[in-house]
Amino acid sequence: MTQRISINPITRLEGHGTIEIFLDDAGDVERAYFQVPELRGFETFCLGRPAEEMAQITPRICGVCPTAHHLASAKALDDLWQVEPPPTAVKLRELAHNAFMFEDHTLHFYYLGGPDFVVGPTAPRSKRNILGVIDAVGLDVASRVIGIRRAVRQMLETMMGKVIHPVFGVPGGVSRGITEEERQRFLEIASEAVEFARFSLTVFDQVVLENKANLELVVDEGYQHRTYYMGMVDRQNRVAFYDGDVRVVHPNGNEVAKFHPREYAQHIAEHVEPWSYITFPYLRKIGWAGFVDGPSSGVYRVAPLARLNVSDGMATPLAQAEHDRMYETLGGKPAHHTLAFHWARLVEALQAAERMQALLTDADIAGRDIRTVPTATPSEGVGIVEAPRGTLIHHYWTDPQGMLTKVNLIVATNHNAAPIAMSVEKAAKRAIHGGQVDDGLLNLVEMAFRAYDPCHACATHTLPGRMPLVARILDRRGELLNVIRRDRE
């Protein structure tokens, strides 16, 4: 009887990861472990560096969401030096964040998450990729995605100096503003972005909501966890990406906490396991009860569906309408359907695009007053933003000269570490019985994992959605019984 299935490596994750699945004597899944096999040590090797350099050092945690780290860092630096950026600078930072959010979210949908729905999880492997998406929705799509992505990223490069590892965020503002000419040019791009986000939602409608099999998958119990949710909201409790307080809701939807960024450590704790380098955050006041969901477990989720769940609505009108439609379909708020992360992601992309448009319509964003120079003595600062993949927390302590003495970072995907493990295990239990393993297993496990968009989206036009998976099935003595491969065609 088979005992252990190793999935190595997991791909489309920034960094490396593996999944180990253990079967009981009946060949059913006993446990599944999601392991992160690497650690680089940013929180330690930053000590002794000048705090302002963190805005350029921390983006190297992740080259896919460097903008999120850059802006969380800039906010932490503002707090550290007790300085408020002028309104133009805040608008510029918020514009950069929304533009990046839009670009990253749409990329994930078309190249990574989307294909599972567009062509269906049981479609042939050769179709579960962007080529299959093109077949389903037309040739235009790929070039539109490449085109809008290129336009937005060039805009970001102009604003931030670099798009991969930005430089413009500094304590008290930004180093570079935009000209009136740039504002008008970017406004056109923003309008295209809004149209593209709306188009993407109609694609989702056509290939998911109007497709019975896909819709059933989205609402399937096997892909649900009744967890707490966490996300940032503005003063009206609407979804906020750049600034606000952090709100936590109970699995039944009631608010259980709403806190200023400086108070995050009172609410979040991290659990350590000896078998992974990643830590497992949980709600401190509820406590760690293991890899389980429910109101007695401190496990919570972040990122698109979570953000929508904790909010009273979206901050922009078109997105708000989509938000209402989504919850009506899913049967109310909060929604626990892991696969609905894909839907919420597109609703967020639309808000991000609408925010870009609103910010660029305001001529003040091309203003010259982009910096307030700090004068206070620094000691401690916290900055939080919502990265595409979840709540991103930067916390710095320094000496009076602003040299770092201590650093605490809780990075978006980190919050979802326990949920990812749980989703993978649940999907595996749903799929594997009696020791039988096949291609369907591999894809269903992937889908549970991929919904969280673990930190790396990559797109070339020939990117196939084929996950490189090998399931090696060993017997009790560790002898190889069978190998199921997902081959490249």
Q: How far apart are CA 129 and CA 270, in angstroms?
A: 36
By CB under 8 A, residue 121 contacts another protein = no
Q: Does 449 bind another protein (CB under 8 A)?
A: no
Binding residues for another protein, total number by CB under 8 A: 106
Q: Could you say whether residue 39 binds another protein (CB under 8 A)?
A: yes
The residue (of 128 and 333) whose beta carbon lies closer to another protein is: 128
- At residue 376, the 3 state secondary structure works out as coil
Please state the closest distance from residue 328 (CB atom) to another protein, in A.
36
Closer residue to another protein, CB minimum distance, 102 or 223: 102
Residue from 283, 451, 467, 473 in contact with another protein (CB under 8 A): 467
Site for another protein in 280-309 (CB under 8 A): 281, 284, 288
Residue 126 sits in the site that holds another protein (CB under 8 A): no
**Residues within window 62-91 making contact with another protein, judged by CB under 8 A:** 62-64, 66, 77, 81
The nearer residue to another protein, 153 or 258, going by C-beta atoms, is 153
| CA–CA gap between residue 134 and residue 115 (Å, rounded) | 10
- Judged by beta carbon, residue 118 or residue 404, the one nearer another protein is 404
Binding of another protein by 57 (CB under 8 A): yes
- SS3 of residue 194 by DSSP: helix
Tell me: does residue 237 bind another protein (CB under 8 A).
Answer: no
Residue number with CB closer to another protein (101 or 340): 101
When computed from its CA atoms, the radius of gyration of the chain, rounded to whole angstroms, is: 22
For residues 237 and 279, which CB has a smaller minimum distance to another protein in the complex? Answer: 279
In the block, tokens 């998406």 appear at 133
32 by DSSP, 3-state: which? strand
Stretch that binds another protein, among 35-43, 178-186, 199-207, 216-224 (CB under 8 A): 35-43
* Position 331 contacts another protein (CB under 8 A): no
Q: Supply the minimum distance, in Å, between the C-beta of residue 404 and another protein.
A: 9
Cα dihedral 356, 361, 367, 372 sign: negative
Contacting range for another protein; rule: CB under 8 A; set: 161-169, 254-262, 356-364, 424-432: 161-169
SS3 letters across the chain: CCCEEEECCCCCECCCCEEEEEECCCCCEEEEEEECCCCCCHHHHCCCCEHHHHHHHHHHHCCCCHHHHHHHHHHHHHHHCCCCCCHHHHHHHHHHHHHHHHHHHHHHHHHHHHHHHHCCCCCCHHHCCHHHHHHHHCCHHHHHHHHHHHHHHHHHHHHHCCCCCCCCEECCEECCCCCHHHHHHHHHHHHHHHHHHHHHHHHHHHHHHCCHHHHHHHHCHHHECCCEEEEEECCCCEECCCCCEEEEECCCCCEEEEECHHHHHHHEEEECCCCCCCCEEEECCCCCCCCCCCCCCCCEECCHHHHHHHCCECCCHHHHHHHHHHHHHHCCCCCCEHHHHHHHHHHHHHHHHHHHHHHHHCHHHHCCCCECCCCCCCCEEEEEEEECCEEEEEEEEECCCCEEEEEEEECHHHHCHHHHHHHHHHHHHHHCECCECCHHHHHHHHHHHHCCCCECCCCCCCCCCCCCCEEEEECCCCCEEEEEECCCC
Q: Which stretch binds another protein (CB under 8 A): 213-221, 232-240, 244-252, 404-412?
A: 404-412
- Residue 486 binds another protein, judged by CB under 8 A: yes
Question: Is residue 317 close enough to count as binding another protein by CB under 8 A?
Answer: no
The minimum distance between CB 460 and another protein, in angstroms, equals 5
Q: Which two tokens stand for residue 344?
A: 């919420």
Q: Is 41 in the site for another protein (CB under 8 A)?
A: yes
| Residue 46 near another protein by CB under 8 A | yes
- Contact status: 363 vs another protein (CB under 8 A): no
Q: Is residue 175 near another protein by the rule CB under 8 A?
A: yes
> Which helix (H) or strand (E) is 147 found in, with range?
helix 140-160
- Indicate whether 157 belongs to the interface with another protein (CB under 8 A): yes
| Residue in 1, 47, 289, 481 binding another protein, rule: CB under 8 A | 47
**Of residues 56, 200, 351, 443, which one binds another protein by CB under 8 A?**
56
Work out which of 113, 120, 367, 374 binds another protein, going by CB under 8 A: 374
Stretch near another protein under the rule CB under 8 A, chosen from 246-254, 341-349, 371-379, 432-440: 371-379
Q: Which residue stretch of 4-12, 181-189, 215-223, 429-437 sits at the interface with another protein (rule: CB under 8 A)?
A: 4-12
Interface residue with another protein among 44, 361, 405, 436 (CB under 8 A) is 44
**Least separation, in Å, of the C-beta of 207 and another protein?**
22
**Nearest CB to another protein, comparing residues 358 and 470:** 470
Out of 86, 305, 464, 473, point to the residue binding another protein (CB under 8 A).
464
Is 153 a binding residue for another protein by CB under 8 A? The answer is: yes
